[in-house]
Structure 1
């Protein structure tokens, strides 16, 4: 019996090549999407689960709040971890981690390396396998360094580098560190990422640490004893902080910050979108929303493919009506017929599954690039994943085959043998499924248009300054770099191809100060008198810094419009700002137009600029004339090396840096576009199949209409109209859902496009056009057939 069912299934596949291709192609694409997303999701949820101490590991998290805002950070200071360990018995161990960029020397070549400082128990608390070296002692020597295999190859051209020396620029001199261990490359599903690890004790010996309770700039990880409940530890953290920081806080006038500590489970770090400051040894953060969206897209496409299968199988039911009638007459039970049709469904699903694996292998490199992953099909060897794919196969076979099997097995033998079955003429389920699949496609098309428009908006919006041909580079950290600033700047100003040169401290810091209405927090940067001219930031009130006013560096500041608005000033020029923490009052001399110094994903915050001589300005911004940019950069590098020979020359262009801020949006634009195209393709091949079958069942009707004088155009319109109506209904259904979805997505952007009516019109016209082309081709082909042939055919 099974052999007979198999033969009939194979025969049906080979006889109906178009319908078989449509079903297999659609299911293959849907299954490929599901396989890729399962791989992606598996990687996401497996993050850090290889850590032996995963259930006892936590990161110390800090919540800061005042009357204006509340924010969470994952940073602490040097003193926090050791103090908590000493006072709280549930804490078994702590690990501090802080990363810094250092200059290293490889022969005569200077390189930059991101180095992680960590306590000497780093490799015993974290399960980061060592190829060479003892985890307990590898960081015991203050002058030791542990490299990954990749970094060892980079510097020594071999992984066997234990005992070799490596030069690191510490302060003004290069010091030799001994390679004490080699670690494997950090796993791709690890939040802990490093290339080199140095004992934290080195910072202590150099006096780089401090004991302020109100400083937050490094990660502190806590390892609890096995039977400890981390929720009972949190109140103790806050009690220790309250006791130990009381003296320090009492010295700050009108301190209104509320600071509380908590513990973040280590396994939550990767997908925690609220505390996303992944620095100091942490990386590869993500958001669970990505998995949800990708999973939804994959399910949509698979659903559309299954809908095609159901529609085509049910639509073609008349072709097999007599077969079913004969089987029932000779004694077949309904249960046997259901097994037969389900078996055919599973055979087709099996073939589709095979092609899906091949397609997954082909597109996986491209998917990795889009998703910023390093996935491989070796993940398939995982027992749970194999079980998941087997379940996916079973579910696909059942979903695609159950309803057709139920319908076909229920045909009456008398009606089928006398050609009285008319299932396809009024099959409301088929029509509903067509509407559903096209509604999904329209939603994805609208999503694609909105994401594309928002990305274009983010990358082309006026930033308030001119980032074109704007180049920047650093002369070194803080005061050490500033000593060359003036002489380097003077030489650069004489170079042909450089229009303007300005300087600032290199990054935007935050602070607070007193104004007449109370305290205000703001961004704080050090600039010179040419910074605003170089970036072409307009002054809207007052004046810029000037050498004509020698008191500017110690008495004057310039603020942005957001600062003025927050302060509530009608006439800001001449207002005083009291920096209590440095016992200094400064006067506002000018207001600049708001400019986007951060990503457009963030609102413009209050900003204050100063020429304070104690605020090291060691980053130069250059406005290039354009033209021969490569030659100009070479001239800049020559001047740089003349004064700073022991640092690599690293520069960046501001427009490229701004574009990099929207990498995730760019990738989502590509992924959603691809998903929309796939969904439309799968929907259209299903629609093509239904149109083909519809034309086949109406051959004689078409012949009669042509004999009676109907034109080919009117017949094509007749055959297409029913399907076009379904697509129009799908558009009406899709519009409110798609509006809600894109509106929700756009709310995360403080600067965003307005949802325009033309997005929906464009998607609707695209869906209608594609449907007309798909159905119209087959309808026109049928309408132009010779009526004599169609009327003679039986």
Structure 2
């Protein structure tokens, strides 16, 4: 019996190749989408879970309250938290401080800047990063020790057998010194928040670890390993007591100098929660910080795509049922009961599901590189064969086969054999289920199309919005600090080539500090050290007062420029001549000589902040900006490289184009734009398959009606309109539902951007026209075929 069912099902699928291909393709797309999202979510939740002592590893974090800026979540710490808490809090077994940096590494005559992590010697006792060679307990004890990964070992020495070999690395005094390789570690896993290449011992001085003022310096990550039986809440309580007692006198001194700090409450963040934390993010030497909302969105998309694929199976199977009506009638007449017929149709469903699963694995393999690029992952197909996931796939396979086959088998097995065999059978009824499913499909598709349009135009806005300065043909050089006295010679040498248009200098990184204005008003701001060429080169206007000038010697000692945001924060009506008091440095007061127009010194995704510019002689420059004449890049870069090596012989020559660096600020938005676009295209494609199925169902239900209309003179256009109108009504209903949902979701998403587009009516018009056009094209395909059919055949009595 089962063999007969299988043969019949298989022959039926082969006889209806187009329907079978559409069904398998739709299901496989839904399953492939689900598998990719399962891979993504599995990777997200697996971060850092490979550590043996995962349940006992925590990061020291804190919450600052009671300030004008509101609550502030801080995942950073300093030199003191680790050793002070470990010494005084019962339950803390060990601590590790981790500070990231860059160091120049010399191999022969080549110099390369490489990322390093300075850590405590207990690093391998807390974390489970295996060593291929070396003793994990002693590898980081010597001050000149270095532990490298196998990749670095191969790069530097051509072999992983690098134990005892020497690496030349630049030390704090700008001299290259020998460091001994005391360990070679395996490459860190992809799902690790801590990815290191080179480990070195962290070496704070005794004075630094004894200075209580360092309770208020936050620049590294501190992890603690608790005893297995330790109570986390009690440990946090003791940590707070240690901090309060130990920092009391220092806090009084600090607040007297810098103003109120508010209250700092220390807590412990579980290592397993760090990757997806929205408050205490994995950064500052840690990598791949993510947001759980990404997993929620992708999981929702996968669930809907898979649901739509199952809906299409139901619609297409019902649409084909008329052609199998006699088969069902004969089976019932010869003794087949409803249970047997249901088993037959469920069998067909599972055959299709099996084929779809096989094709889905092939599709996943084909699109995985693209998906990795979009999601910034390094996923592999082998991750799918985790024992837990295999069980999940089997469950998904069973559910998919059951959901896709149960309703059709229930309907088809219930046909009355008498009506079927005497041609008195028809698929009557309102078909509310099919219509509701089509509305659901196109509501989601319309929602995703509108979302795609919103994301696209917001991304275009971010990448085309005027930054307030000219970043074209601008090269940025990173280097060791260069004094104001040497910049004239460096600038003159660079500009000796006709390909160089201009040169300016500024400080490395982004400095933040605070000062007093209007007597005692505190202002926090970005503190920029520049020369007099900086604003003209970048074409940043001075809207009041003047720029820095060598004609005013006091500009390098007592003058500052501020931006418009600074003026607004200070409440100045006439900013020129106002005083900015760096009260914590004796006698350091400046006079405002100019106001700079606000410009986006950071990404457009952040609001323009408060800025102050100085030419202070004691602040070195760490960045050189070189303006190149258009079309002269090759000549300019060769010249810049030669001059750079002359002034910085021990530093690697590295440069970036400013406009390229600015574009990278929006990579996340660009990738999400593509993900949503692909989701919308996939959803609309699968939805159209379902709509095609219903158009076939409608045409087959109304075959005789169409024949009669044509005999009475109805044109092809009239018949096509007749068959299409009902489906277009469903699409219009879906648009009515999708538009307000998309409007609310779009506005909610845009709220996270300080500079954003306004959602306009034409976005909805574009989406509506696109959906209607696609739906009309889909429905018309079979409607035209039915309309041009010979009416004699339609009216013929079988």
Structures share fold, TM-score greater than 0.5: yes
Matches within 5 A, 1:18-29: 18-29=18-29
Counterpart of 2:184 in structure 1 is: 182
Looking at structure 2, the residues matched to 122 and 160 of structure 1 have their Cα atoms a distance apart, in angstroms, of 22
Indicate the larger mover: 306-315 or 494-503. 494-503
Which runs of no fewer than 5 residues in structure 2 stay unpaired? none
8 A Cα contact 1:541 1:592, kept in partner: yes
Query: Cα distance, 1:490 vs. partner?
Result: 2.0
Indicate the larger mover: 712-721 or 419-428. 419-428
8 A Cα contact 2:330 2:417, kept in partner: yes
Do residues 430 (structure 1) and 434 (structure 2) align? yes
Do residues 550 (structure 1) and 564 (structure 2) align? no
Looking at structure 2, the residues matched to 543 and 209 of structure 1 have their Cα atoms a distance apart, in angstroms, of 46
Matches within 5 A, 1:579-594: 579-583=582-586, 584-594=588-598
Looking at structure 2, the residues matched to 25 and 576 of structure 1 have their Cα atoms a distance apart, in angstroms, of 71
Query: Cα distance, 1:424 vs. partner?
Result: 4.9
**Alpha carbons of structure 1 residues 550 and 713: separation in structure 2 relative to 1, 3 Å:** same
Aligned-partner SS, 1:453? helix
Indicate the larger mover: 383-392 or 678-687. 678-687
Aligned-partner SS, 2:636? helix
Counterpart of 2:527 in structure 1 is: 524
Looking at structure 2, the residues matched to 208 and 149 of structure 1 have their Cα atoms a distance apart, in angstroms, of 33
Query: Cα distance, 1:260 vs. partner?
Result: 2.5
Pairing partner for 2:612 from 587, 592, 608: 608
Do residues 785 (structure 1) and 789 (structure 2) align? yes
8 A Cα contact 1:504 1:528, kept in partner: yes
Pairing partner for 1:565 from 568, 588, 593: 568
Aligned-partner SS, 1:110? strand
Do residues 450 (structure 1) and 454 (structure 2) align? yes
Matches within 5 A, 1:314-713: 314-424=318-428, 426-476=430-480, 478=481, 484-516=486-518, 518-583=521-586, 584-713=588-717
Looking at structure 1, the residues matched to 409 and 782 of structure 2 have their Cα atoms a distance apart, in angstroms, of 28
Counterpart of 2:81 in structure 1 is: 80
Matches within 5 A, 1:717-728: 717-728=721-732
Looking at structure 2, the residues matched to 485 and 80 of structure 1 have their Cα atoms a distance apart, in angstroms, of 40
Query: Cα distance, 1:481 vs. partner?
Result: 6.2
8 A Cα contact 1:314 1:424, kept in partner: no
8 A Cα contact 1:473 1:650, kept in partner: yes
Pairing partner for 1:275 from 264, 280, 285: 280
Looking at structure 2, the residues matched to 373 and 206 of structure 1 have their Cα atoms a distance apart, in angstroms, of 43
**Alpha carbons of structure 1 residues 561 and 496: separation in structure 2 relative to 1, 3 Å:** same
Matches within 5 A, 1:108-127: 108-127=109-128
Counterpart of 1:9 in structure 2 is: 9
8 A Cα contact 2:274 2:282, kept in partner: no
Pairing partner for 2:779 from 775, 779, 784: 775
Looking at structure 1, the residues matched to 644 and 485 of structure 2 have their Cα atoms a distance apart, in angstroms, of 13
**Alpha carbons of structure 1 residues 580 and 471: separation in structure 2 relative to 1, 3 Å:** same
CA deviations on 1:517-557 (whole Å, 9 max, x unpaired) are 52121111211111111211111111111111111122111
Counterpart of 2:105 in structure 1 is: 104
Looking at structure 2, the residues matched to 210 and 757 of structure 1 have their Cα atoms a distance apart, in angstroms, of 61
Aligned-partner SS, 2:55? coil
Do residues 261 (structure 1) and 262 (structure 2) align? no
Looking at structure 2, the residues matched to 239 and 543 of structure 1 have their Cα atoms a distance apart, in angstroms, of 52
Looking at structure 1, the residues matched to 531 and 206 of structure 2 have their Cα atoms a distance apart, in angstroms, of 35
8 A Cα contact 1:18 1:689, kept in partner: no
Query: Cα distance, 1:99 vs. partner?
Result: 1.2
Aligned-partner SS, 2:33? helix
Aligned-partner SS, 2:142? coil
8 A Cα contact 1:482 1:618, kept in partner: no
**Alpha carbons of structure 1 residues 424 and 166: separation in structure 2 relative to 1, 3 Å:** farther
Query: Cα distance, 1:643 vs. partner?
Result: 1.3
Looking at structure 1, the residues matched to 744 and 497 of structure 2 have their Cα atoms a distance apart, in angstroms, of 55
Query: Cα distance, 1:452 vs. partner?
Result: 0.8
Which runs of no fewer than 5 residues in structure 1 stay unpaired? none
8 A Cα contact 2:426 2:701, kept in partner: no
Counterpart of 1:239 in structure 2 is: 241
Looking at structure 2, the residues matched to 770 and 195 of structure 1 have their Cα atoms a distance apart, in angstroms, of 52
**Alpha carbons of structure 1 residues 472 and 205: separation in structure 2 relative to 1, 3 Å:** farther
Query: Cα distance, 1:666 vs. partner?
Result: 0.8
**Alpha carbons of structure 1 residues 207 and 249: separation in structure 2 relative to 1, 3 Å:** closer
Looking at structure 1, the residues matched to 409 and 703 of structure 2 have their Cα atoms a distance apart, in angstroms, of 27
8 A Cα contact 2:503 2:627, kept in partner: yes
Aligned-partner SS, 2:396? helix
Compute the TM-score of the two structures, normalised by the length of structure 2: 0.96
Looking at structure 2, the residues matched to 406 and 580 of structure 1 have their Cα atoms a distance apart, in angstroms, of 82
**Alpha carbons of structure 1 residues 339 and 789: separation in structure 2 relative to 1, 3 Å:** closer
Counterpart of 1:142 in structure 2 is: 143
Compute the TM-score of the two structures, normalised by the length of structure 1: 0.96
8 A Cα contact 1:442 1:731, kept in partner: yes
Looking at structure 2, the residues matched to 415 and 316 of structure 1 have their Cα atoms a distance apart, in angstroms, of 17
Looking at structure 2, the residues matched to 484 and 162 of structure 1 have their Cα atoms a distance apart, in angstroms, of 42
Indicate the larger mover: 687-696 or 239-248. 687-696
Pairing partner for 2:216 from 214, 217, 230: 214
Looking at structure 2, the residues matched to 419 and 136 of structure 1 have their Cα atoms a distance apart, in angstroms, of 85
Query: Cα distance, 1:419 vs. partner?
Result: 3.7
8 A Cα contact 1:484 1:643, kept in partner: no
Looking at structure 2, the residues matched to 578 and 482 of structure 1 have their Cα atoms a distance apart, in angstroms, of 23
CA RMSD of aligned residues (A): 2.0
**Alpha carbons of structure 1 residues 542 and 481: separation in structure 2 relative to 1, 3 Å:** closer
**Alpha carbons of structure 1 residues 522 and 71: separation in structure 2 relative to 1, 3 Å:** same
8 A Cα contact 1:465 1:536, kept in partner: yes
Query: Cα distance, 1:204 vs. partner?
Result: 4.2
Query: Cα distance, 1:199 vs. partner?
Result: 1.2
Counterpart of 2:158 in structure 1 is: 157
Do residues 63 (structure 1) and 63 (structure 2) align? yes
CA deviations on 1:263-319 (whole Å, 9 max, x unpaired) are 111111111122235122x11111111111111111121111111111122233333
- Number of residue-to-residue matches in the alignment: 790
Looking at structure 2, the residues matched to 473 and 457 of structure 1 have their Cα atoms a distance apart, in angstroms, of 28
Query: Cα distance, 1:757 vs. partner?
Result: 0.9
Aligned-partner SS, 1:668? helix
Aligned-partner SS, 1:502? strand
8 A Cα contact 2:193 2:282, kept in partner: no
CA deviations on 1:628-679 (whole Å, 9 max, x unpaired) are 2121111111111111111111111111111101111111111111111111
Aligned-partner SS, 1:101? strand
Matches within 5 A, 1:31-50: 31-50=31-50
Query: Cα distance, 1:172 vs. partner?
Result: 2.0
Counterpart of 1:196 in structure 2 is: 198
Aligned-partner SS, 2:621? coil
CA deviations on 1:473-512 (whole Å, 9 max, x unpaired) are 1231x3x566643311122233212222211102222111
Looking at structure 2, the residues matched to 605 and 104 of structure 1 have their Cα atoms a distance apart, in angstroms, of 36
8 A Cα contact 1:165 1:177, kept in partner: yes
